[in-house]
Structure 1
Amino acid sequence: MAAEAVLDEPTRAALPVSSPAQRRWPRPGLLWAGFAAMVLLVGIALVYLRFGNPQPRTAADALWSELFTPNRPVLIVPSDDALVLFQEFTKSPVQLDEYLSGTYLSKANLPSIGTASLTSEWFASHQYTSSADLNLALRLGRLPQASKADVETRNARVLRIDDLKSRNVILIGGIGANPWVGLFKDRLNFDVNWDWKAAEGYVLNKHPEKGELPIYRDRVSDGARQSYGVLAFLPGIEGNGEALLFQGTGMAGTESAADFPFSSVEFKNFAQAIGATRDHMPYFEVLLETSSIGGNAPEARVVNYRLIKP
């Protein structure tokens, strides 16, 4: 066992004893240097969190990047639900030229509801849209790509054709709710329609391929309603800019089209099938089928699709 070293009193007394005044403190310059280094590290961390750790890429990023660009404004146009109400009462469709001129309001015999009378002035002064359309507009506006673009939401009734020529445009709703989609009917294979007398939506397949139906009609099966949506990405009016259409045979069908590009698996598989890359999205239209209960469309499946030539 090793012996402990024991200091005798004379030796202990000879050891230097430091007082508080004699202790060495860091120089002020070193303190400032340490503080500056800490601030620099915090700044680097914040920059990394903001820019160095971006959101994960999704299959729809190429689509959003072609729509939301810094050099061209983006116009989002929700549906006109007052127009939908008008057509439900009159049981007749309103064409785009009638909608633009407002002549449809003067031609109809509008009914009375109780003591209230729905006049043309009432429809002309009320602008409504659905909460689902507003949620989609907000969802689009929160996309990272949208932060780089000038994005505006405008009511369909006050829109003009020149607005579509100078902007990339996003139209929400079928032709019965948003007549502006009628400008693209001749360029699409899947034509979304609504029979106001029968209160039934359907999609006309203009050029059926093998195994496809010529018409896809809404139907009820086992208590669930089968509806259809069409998502179309194509050149804008007269080839100016880009256009994205969210259409449906009803609210559930439109919601299925609205949810489709945000789905992680379904849209990824679709993008691969049409040859999309990280930086380019081909023009397309895709027909979707959804089963809804109470107007909610939990999921949709791809029925078929077409590529659109520029």
Structure 2
Amino acid sequence: MEPVTAPQSLVVAATPPETRARGHFRGQGLLLWCSIAAAVICAIGWYRAVRVHENNQAILWPLNAVIQPDRETRLIVSDGNTMLRLLGDKELTLDQYLASNFRTSLVPTHLPPNISRLVDYISDSQLTSFADLVVASSIAKVAGRSGHPIQIYSARNLNLRELDDGNYIFIGGPTSDPWVGLFTGKLNFEVVEDGVGGKMYFRNRRPLPGEQATYEGLPRTGSAGEEYATISLLPSSTGRGNILILQGLRQEGTEALGEFLQNSADHAQLEKALNIHEGSSTPVYFEALVHARVVAGAPLSISVVATRTIQP
């Protein structure tokens, strides 16, 4: 008689006890490592969230109105080509500046060869002022720490249609950055140049009690004395961004604004002058006239002289 053999599908191989134990420990080890990995990922996410929050908190107002995570920020520095107006003794409007022949329209037709070479060099170069570079560098560092870098452009490379979207920071007044002329009608403090290359001052269009009708700054760049500048924050015409204008009568005034925007005490001074309460979430559009005492070309003792709120 042949022995009875169990069907193959019913045969179960016995697993040695030590093999089952090793498999059990491997499963526990894998579970442990997965838990550790998940904890590390969560910790990294939490750390990044905290850092982003801290960095965003580090941006003082009004810079945080133009450096934002959901909008591109473009910083526009002045154009050295505007200096050519001194050769032809001509004022320069934005319409003239945007014309393709604006350089030749400012320069006299007959110039000595050495002056002509200098004009060509200025025309072909992307020149700006040292004060603009100082302010742009300071703002770029603040934006970089926040994780929202800005793009820096010369005024000559800006297109009018681009102003419809995004945040913009303009450095310089209308004589060095004609784009600022677009917003002059919305501001109370207007930059006035007494003849091409002449003395410069701010005209107070609607003086309030205790204010002066005009505020005259330094006679020239590099001198010592009293200097004035303005900080202006406005909404864009489309409402899809904000505009920050930093303009000094001379380079020292513009440079003073760069220091003013980074100093927490000056920040508190500006909020107090505008009667902004701590914790207020309502954006405030404004312009502020700032005074600086200048010694050896460096701005000192910066203070707010007058302010205006701007209705959006």
TM-score, length-scaled by structure 2: 0.75
Question: Per-residue deviation at 1:58?
Answer: 7.0
SS at the partner of 2:62?
helix
Aligned 1:22-33 pairs, distance under 5 A: none
Q: In structure 1, what is the equivalent of residue 265 of structure 2? A: 265
User: Could you tell me the percent identity over the aligned residues?
Assistant: 26
The answer on whether the counterparts of 1:59 and 1:278 sit within 8 Å (CA) in structure 2 is no
Q: In structure 2, what is the equivalent of residue 95 of structure 1? A: 93
Q: What is the one-letter code of the residue matched to 1:181? A: V
Q: In structure 2, what is the equivalent of residue 182 of structure 1? A: 181
Aligned 1:38-57 pairs, distance under 5 A: 44=43, 48=47, 51=50, 55=54
Deviations 1:203-239 (Å, cap 9, x if unpaired)? 111111111111111257xx83211100000111344
Deviations 1:94-139 (Å, cap 9, x if unpaired)? 1111100043322331685783424765443221012332232232
RMSD of aligned residue pairs (Cα, Å) = 3.6
Given candidates 277, 290, 297, the residue that maps to 1:295 is 297
Q: In structure 2, what is the equivalent of residue 307 of structure 1? A: 309
Taking a change above 3 Å as real, the CA distance of residues 144 and 172 of structure 1, as seen in their structure-2 partners, is: closer
Aligned 1:25-174 pairs, distance under 5 A: 44=43, 48=47, 51=50, 55=54, 61-84=60-83, 86-107=84-105, 108-109=107-108, 112=111, 115-118=114-117, 121-143=120-142, 147-149=146-148, 151-174=150-173
Matched, 1:241 2:227: no
Question: Per-residue deviation at 1:91?
Answer: 3.1
Q: What is the one-letter code of the residue matched to 1:75? A: R
Moved more, 245-254 or 72-81: 72-81
Distance 1:152 1:197 in 2: 31
The answer on whether the counterparts of 1:76 and 1:153 sit within 8 Å (CA) in structure 2 is yes
What are the ranges of 5 or more consecutive residues in structure 2 without an aligned counterpart? 1-27
Taking a change above 3 Å as real, the CA distance of residues 260 and 100 of structure 1, as seen in their structure-2 partners, is: same
Question: Per-residue deviation at 1:65?
Answer: 3.0
Q: What is the one-letter code of the residue matched to 1:101? A: A
Moved more, 200-209 or 266-275: 266-275
The answer on whether the counterparts of 2:204 and 2:212 sit within 8 Å (CA) in structure 1 is yes
Taking a change above 3 Å as real, the CA distance of residues 209 and 67 of structure 1, as seen in their structure-2 partners, is: same
Taking a change above 3 Å as real, the CA distance of residues 114 and 52 of structure 1, as seen in their structure-2 partners, is: closer
Q: In structure 2, what is the equivalent of residue 191 of structure 1? A: 190
Matched, 1:283 2:281: no
The answer on whether the counterparts of 1:233 and 1:245 sit within 8 Å (CA) in structure 2 is yes
The answer on whether the counterparts of 2:224 and 2:297 sit within 8 Å (CA) in structure 1 is no
What are the ranges of 5 or more consecutive residues in structure 1 without an aligned counterpart? 1-28
How many matched pairs? 282
Deviations 1:132-155 (Å, cap 9, x if unpaired)? 322322322232587454621111
The answer on whether the counterparts of 2:171 and 2:177 sit within 8 Å (CA) in structure 1 is yes
Question: Per-residue deviation at 1:178?
Answer: 0.6
Taking a change above 3 Å as real, the CA distance of residues 113 and 134 of structure 1, as seen in their structure-2 partners, is: farther
Deviations 1:238-297 (Å, cap 9, x if unpaired)? 444110000010001111222222121122122134243454440010001111123211
Q: What is the one-letter code of the residue matched to 2:131? A: A
SS at the partner of 1:184?
helix
Distance 1:198 1:285 in 2: 25
Moved more, 111-120 or 252-261: 111-120
Q: What is the one-letter code of the residue matched to 1:309? A: Q
Q: What is the one-letter code of the residue matched to 1:103? A: N
Distance 2:200 2:124 in 1: 28
Matched, 1:224 2:224: yes
Moved more, 127-136 or 72-81: 127-136
SS at the partner of 2:202?
strand
Taking a change above 3 Å as real, the CA distance of residues 60 and 112 of structure 1, as seen in their structure-2 partners, is: same
Distance 1:106 1:171 in 2: 25
The answer on whether the counterparts of 2:66 and 2:242 sit within 8 Å (CA) in structure 1 is yes
Question: Per-residue deviation at 1:305?
Answer: 0.7
Question: Per-residue deviation at 1:298?
Answer: 2.4
SS at the partner of 1:211?
coil
The answer on whether the counterparts of 1:256 and 1:299 sit within 8 Å (CA) in structure 2 is no
Taking a change above 3 Å as real, the CA distance of residues 54 and 111 of structure 1, as seen in their structure-2 partners, is: farther
Aligned 1:5-20 pairs, distance under 5 A: none
Q: What is the one-letter code of the residue matched to 2:188? A: N
Deviations 1:57-78 (Å, cap 9, x if unpaired)? 8796343333222332111101
